[in-house]
Chain A
C-alpha cells in the first residue's frame, strides 16, 4: 500500500526550511546582542580594532569556517581601523554560552567599545561584510 502524504509533508517542510536557511546564511542580524555586554581585550585575548572588530568563532574541521576566515582575514588587510579576531569555539565554551552561539562559523561585529552590533551565522558575502562594517561608527 502506498502512501504519499508523509513524503509530501516532509518535502514541503524541508524545502521551506532549506530556503529560509540558505537565505539567512551570512546575513548580519542584530537581534541577539545582549544589552550592555562588552567584549573586551581581556575577554578576547587580543586588542580590538580602533573602529570595529570582527570576532569569528570556528570549530575544527568546519569547511565554511575556513572560507569565512579566508574572506575576513583578507578583507581587513587594507583596513587600519578594523581587526579580525579568530577564536576556537570549543576552547571558549564559557563565552560561547554567554553569547549563545549555536553554530560555526558565527562572526560577531563589534564596535570599538566591545559592544556587539550584529552577528552573522555562516559565511557572509563581501558586500554584507562591507555594509555591516560601514555602519559601525
Chain B
C-alpha cells in the first residue's frame, strides 16, 4: 500500500463505515422535522449531536451508539472500515450549519434558519442516499484555499 495514503503522524482510528451512513439517515429525518416544523429546539438537539460527533467522534453520538448496540449486531460480521477523520469533519460541517441556523432562529431571522437547515439536510441526505462524502469533496479545496 502506498505511503501516501498512510500518513503516520496522526494516530489512526478506524470505524465501521456503515455507522456514519446510518447516522446520516437519522440526521436526515431530524433535520427534515426541524425544517417542516420550523422548530429551533429540534435544530439545537441535532446541533449537539453534531458537536459530539465533531469533537469526540461520530461513534460517540447517540446515533452512533444506537448503531453499535442495535443495528451492527444484525449486520454482516465483516465490516468495511474507514478512517474516522472524514466523518468527523462532516459532523463539524453539520455543526457549523446548525450553529448558523440556531443563531438565525434565536434572532428571528427565519430565512437564515431555513437556508442553514436546508444545507445541512442536503448534506446528510446526500450522504445517506448516495454515500456522498462532503468532507472528501471539500478537503482538497480547503487545503488549496488555506495555503495560498
Contacts and interface: CB of A to CB of B under 8 A. Distances in A.
Contact of A2 (B12, B37, B114, B147): B37
Nearest to A13: B122
Q: How large is the interface on B (under 10, 10 to 19, 20 to 34, 35 or more residues)?
A: 35 or more
Interface stretch (A27-35, A36-44, A61-69): A61-69
Interface stretch (A94-102, A110-118, A128-136): A94-102
Nearest to A1: B38
Nearest to B37: A2
Chain A interface, DSSP helix/strand/loop, else mixed: helix
Interface of A: 1-4, 6-7, 9-11, 13-15, 17-19, 21-22, 58-66, 69, 73, 86-90, 93, 96-97, 101-104
B28 to A, nearest CB: 9
A28 B120 CA distance: 30
A7 B32 contact: yes
B122 A62 contact: no
Contacts of A61: 5, 7, 12, 83, 85-86
Q: Which residue, of B4, B38, B85, B147, has the highest number of chain A Cβ atoms within 10 A?
A: B4
B143 interface: yes
B136 A15 contact: no
Interface of B: 1-2, 4-7, 12, 17, 32, 35-38, 82-83, 85-86, 114, 117-118, 121-122, 125-126, 129-130, 132-133, 136-137, 139-141, 143-144, 147
Given A7-B32, A21-B130, A103-B137, A89 B2 contact: no
A122 B23 CA distance: 23
A49 B140 CA distance: 27
B5 A14 contact: no
Given A4-B36, A10-B35, A10-B118, A66 B129 contact: no
